[in-house]
Amino acid sequence: MRNIRRLFLIISILLFGWLFFQIANEIDLIPNYSRTFVSEDIDKVEKFKDLNELKEFSKSKIYSLQKINMERSDLADKQLIMIFILIGIQLFLYITSNKSKYPTQP
């Protein structure tokens, strides 16, 4: 039982680390870089003379945002499953630690 607890503890630590690094990648460390892209897009929109060009540009931006949202949703699903697995592992470790401290006598 002790080896099983150690294995689950190692798995739990690895999953916590993986979850941490996935979430850390979502942090916007350089907000000015994002603002630059936004200002460039605004400048592009203001320079359009033809309405069809503006429509195409808007559609491409909408499709790219839709793709990003789908990717983030998939990542969030994986993270949610990982959190449930971690909760299960932690509950298992908690339950087995209480039983090992207080052995029952027949």
- Three-class DSSP labels, the chain: CHHHHHHHHHHHHHHHHHHHHHHHCCCCCCHHHHHHHHHHHHHHHHHCCCHHHHHHHHHHHHHHHHHHHHHHHHHHHHHHHHHHHHHHHHHHHHHHHHHHHCCCCC
What band does 63 get if pLDDT is binned at 50, 70 and 90?
A: very high
Q: Look up the pTM and report it.
A: 0.63
What band does 67 get if pLDDT is binned at 50, 70 and 90?
A: very high
Q: How many domains does the chain have?
A: 1
Domain annotation covers residue 68: yes
Domain annotation covers residue 89: yes
C-alpha 65/C-alpha 75 separation (Å) is: 15
pLDDT for residue 68 is more than 80: yes
Domain annotation covers residue 106: no
